[in-house]
Amino acid sequence: MKATTTLKEKMMNVLKTISAVLLAIGVTACVNQEAYYRSDQYRKPALPPQYDVAPQVIYNIDNNRFISLENYDQCYGDTYYNNLKENIHTKLGRGGIEYYRGRLIIDDPSGTNVVIPSARPGPCGNRGCDSSLIYSTDGGRTFKGKVYMNGQTPSVDSENYSILVAKDGFYVVKTLEYAKGKFDNDVTKYPLYPGIDFDDRKPYPPGVHDEYLSNKPLPPLRTPSGQDRFTCDASIRPSNLPKTK
């Protein structure tokens, strides 16, 4: 006489069936995923080319601190913040900073605060697109970002901006007629202190706040080197440019 299957045995059989199905699905998924990565449909992000050009100093703060452009062609490349005295060589990004056309003054005697603006190349849509600046409160070892502008032609629009860095914060100044020294009262001072993060939405410490300045004189800030704009020699070309078909 055939023995009656117990409830426990039935459950064990069900679990074995489910395990077999899951295993088959998992193997199939792995095979499909591996095949996908080998196929022409998958494209890994292209690495930046390695150009044989000497670094350019596009912004000089003083004898030790400067922003360099490296691995570039026609002034498009990798930007770095450098402090020779502190042995700092921090990569800032590739493309963007060198497209900023406005003024930049860094005048923090302690060297703690560093702010570097950027501008997106090319036109944007009707709604415009954001451009950011990066800021450091540890002497350029680490940077965080903050949007400072929205425009349809960011690189061109950045000509109307001045970023002024002091020992206790930085000013974002928008002027409609920079050449004539006229401002449209759009001046904001943002605080800088160790650990500040404009994106974490945490409140500032007591007594610290943004300042919206209207018809108030700005402090007489000056970069130690006297430089107040990025410069770059676009005639420098690498000799190992990729060959075109």
Range among 26-30, 108-112, 197-201 rated most confident: 108-112
Which of the two residues, 245 and 53, has the higher pLDDT score? Answer: 53
Q: Helix or strand or coil: residue 222?
A: coil
Nearest-angstrom CA–CA distance, 159 and 179: 10
Through-space distance between the first and last CA atoms of the chain, rounded to whole angstroms: 82
Mean pLDDT of the chain: 81
Q: Parallel, antiparallel, or unpaired: how do β-strands 161-165 and 103-106 relate? A: parallel
Q: Does the pLDDT value for residue 29 go beyond 50?
A: no
- DSSP type of residue 221: -
Residue 78: pLDDT band (50, 70, 90) is: very high
Q: What pLDDT sits at residue 51?
A: 87
Question: What is the mean pLDDT of the segment spanning 16-27?
Answer: 50
Question: What is the mean pLDDT of the segment spanning 103-130?
Answer: 90
Q: What pLDDT sits at residue 11?
A: 54
Question: What is the mean pLDDT of the segment spanning 154-181?
Answer: 83
Q: Does the pLDDT value for residue 42 go beyond 60?
A: no
Nearest-angstrom CA–CA distance, 60 and 226: 9
Positions of E strands within 129-245: 129-136, 144-151, 161-165, 169-174, 186-191, 211-213
Which of the two residues, 8 and 214, has the higher pLDDT score? Answer: 214
Q: What pLDDT sits at residue 41?
A: 45
Contact 109, 99 (CB under 8 A): no
Q: Does the pLDDT value for residue 170 go beyond 60?
A: yes
What percent of the chain lies above the pLDDT cut of 90? 51
The 10s digit of each residue's pLDDT in 88-114 is: 999 999 988 999 999 999 999 899 999
What percent of the chain lies above the pLDDT cut of 70? 75
Q: Which residue has the tokens 């920079």?
A: 178
- pTM higher than 0.85 for the full model? no
188, with CB counted inside 10 A (0-12, 13-18, 19+), is middle
**Least confidently predicted of 101-105, 163-167, 169-173, 182-186:** 182-186
Q: What pLDDT sits at residue 201?
A: 76
Q: What pLDDT sits at residue 28?
A: 43
